[in-house]
Homo-oligomer: A and B are copies of this chain.
């Protein structure tokens, strides 16, 4: 059987656009004599539509899109993903389904059994789990259709509870009773740099254990925070990856199950390179899918804004990026110079606005109210917020979307000013720890200096008071990042983290900062997710709590 894998980039709720893409692929697969073409999970709606699924109109639109697509499936079959109404009088309103289309109509439907409801996943909010299993018979083959998590019947994230099965049912165990010839897995599996190998291993083990080939079809493209990386694979019954599709790009491939041919794998890319590609795609899709073209941000001469602006230029083009340099009396000459060199290296439009006169005006006006008080974080915040006003003014006046440059380390400990440097439509580095930001800067400079060396090597500083350094109030980033990773990604307790070789009081101080700053993150822009635990809706902490 000739099976086409279609790894596409969908837009949530864009039924027309998504359907057109799908139909085009069906037609092209047909002209390649394919028997079957496979699309990914919820391909009709995009993943994940969240509470749009509660609107009946939305579901009915998905239904008509399916009927429309079915009409193209003559002389070929397709598997597409969409929500559908649960007709039973009991249970959730919907199923998350795989539609098998052929002969111009829906031949069969398989619903998703295992509904991930953890981290960024929220499927039991909307979907009823499947309880009936069967295979599709088509052109003499028996096909077992599964949807993403259905093959993941093991615990997917770090946990301290020593549990290894998150679900009570194993769809593969049920489906294997029908002796299928191969497995189709339609997926929506987002990128996370620290879980990549794990995903492939799950698939390889399933193929091996059940001695069955697997077509794993992922999607690519960013949906606000989530970045889907593609990398769809065909795995033979020995658990070997024979074909592998591109990462962070649309791609498609035809596999003849009777004549598999040579291995076709992607070149290995180092983690930092993948994070780079993920973030570029994250920015590009955020703008493209929102209908925006142009971005702005403040360049401070520091490394975070430097890396962010390079990623923005790579995602949107130099002609669409425009920056502000906003020195104050605390800015070092070097900072302005570094920012200017970077802007010139990138050939982007830059302008300089000195914030000092506005800051002075605020301080003058506030003087009578502040009588008898000493300067503190208030005055630092006024600077950051004044910059926020200037850069938002550019954003409003010229329609440039503001990119937030906060990194994950400072975001974690609340080292940033709400309504100031925490402003922005999307937080590009909000899931990237500071040490990884350094690695990204080296990666960016690998073929020649783009980011001035000085921005990389100078001690990080917010430059909000004389001679300020980040390390005045924070541990060295090398240590800070390790403490944070163990607390945030791995959910370790203070004692366990201290046992890795840190001072327990210091660990507790850092964790206290993380906990106390939930309120800032609550009001932050969506964060492009590259790890297994990003800030945002995948990490939901109570704001008002004692812990």
A→B interface (CB under 8 Å): 11-14, 17, 46, 48-52, 54-58, 85-86, 89-93, 117-118, 122, 124-125, 159-161, 163-168, 222-224, 285-286, 289-290, 351, 353-354, 357-358, 361-362, 365-366, 369-370, 373, 376-378, 381-382, 385-386, 388-390, 392-394, 396-397, 418-419, 423, 425, 491, 493, 519, 522-526, 537, 539-547
Beyond A55-B493, A370-B397, 15 extra complex contacts between A and B, CB < 8 Å: A14-B545, A52-B545, A56-B161, A91-B166, A286-B544, A358-B358, A365-B390, A366-B393, A377-B396, A385-B385, A385-B389, A386-B389, A419-B419, A523-B523, A523-B524
CB-CB under 8 A from A93, the residues of chain B are 159, 161, 163
Closest to A386 in B: B389
Q: How many copies does the complex hold?
A: 2
A57 to B392, CA, bound (A): 43
Q: Is the CB of B542 within 8 A of A13?
A: yes
Contacts of A544 in B (CB 8 A): 11-12, 222-224, 285-286, 289-290
- Measured CA separation A140–B13 after assembly (Å): 59
Q: Are B365 and A545 in contact (CB under 8 A)?
A: no
In the complex formed, the residue of B with least CB distance to A396 is B378
Q: Measured between C-beta atoms, what is the minimum distance from A180 to chain B in Å?
A: 24
Q: List 6 A-B contacts (CB under 8 A).
A: A46-B542, A56-B160, A358-B365, A376-B397, A377-B396, A389-B389
Given A396-B381, A542-B49; A168-B389 close (CB under 8 Å) = no
Q: Which residues of B contact A543 (CB under 8 A)?
A: 224, 290, 526
Report Cα–Cα, A540/B52, bound state, in Å. 8
Contacts of A370 in B (CB 8 A): 397
B residues within 8 A CB of A522? 525-526
In the complex, the chain B residue whose C-beta lies closest to that of A222 is: B544
Contacts of A357 in B (CB 8 A): 361, 365
A58, B547: Cβ atoms closer than 8 Å? yes
**Distance (Å) between the CB of A131 and the closest chain B CB?**
9
Query: Are A546 and B13 in contact (CB-based, < 8 A)?
Result: yes
Assess the A92–B166 pair: CB atoms within 8 A.
yes
**Which of A12, A54, A381, A493 has the most C-beta atoms of chain B within 10 angstroms of its own C-beta?**
A54
Question: Across the interface, do B373 and A397 meet the contact criterion of CB distance under 8 Å?
Answer: yes
Chain B residues with CB under 8 A of A163: 86, 89-91, 93
User: Which residues of B sit under 8 angstroms from A11, Cβ to Cβ?
Assistant: 544-546
Q: Which residue of B lies closest to A377 (CB)?
A: B396
Q: In the docked arrangement, what's the CA distance between A544 and B286, Å?
A: 7
Partner of A56, one of B168, B394, B491: B491
User: Could you tell me if A89 and B164 are in contact, using CB atoms closer than 8 angstroms?
Assistant: yes
Residues of B within 8 A of A52 (CB): 541-542, 545, 547
Chain B residues within 8 Å of A224, by CB = 542-544
Tell me the minimal C-beta distance from A7 to chain B in angstroms: 19
Asked if A51 and B159 sit within 8 Å, CB to CB, the answer is no
* Cβ contact within 8 Å between B366 and A390: yes
Chain B's nearest CB lies how many Å from the CB of A507?
13
Nearest residue (CB) in B for A425 is B519
CB distance from A376 to the nearest CB of B (A): 7
A392 near B419 with CB under 8 A, answer: yes
Tell me the complex Cα distance, A290–B86, Å: 43
Inter-chain contacts of A17 with B (CB < 8 A): 546
CB atoms of B389 and A369 under 8 A apart? no
Q: Flag if B491 contacts A49 (CB, 8 Å).
A: no
Say how far A321's CB is from chain B's closest CB, in angstroms.
Answer: 16
Which 9 pairs across A and B sit closest by C-beta, in order of nearness? Answer: A12-B545, A56-B160, A13-B547, A378-B396, A14-B546, A90-B165, A93-B161, A13-B545, A57-B493
Chain B neighbourhood of A160, CB < 8 A: 55-56
> CB distance A91 to B168 under 8 Å?
yes
Give A373 to B393 CA distance when docked, in angstroms.
12
Known: A92-B166, A163-B89. A50 touches B540 (CB 8 A): yes
Closest Cβ–Cβ distance, residue A429 to chain B (whole Å): 17
A262 CB, min distance to chain B CBs, angstroms:
39
A390 contacts across to B, CB distance below 8 A: 362, 365-366
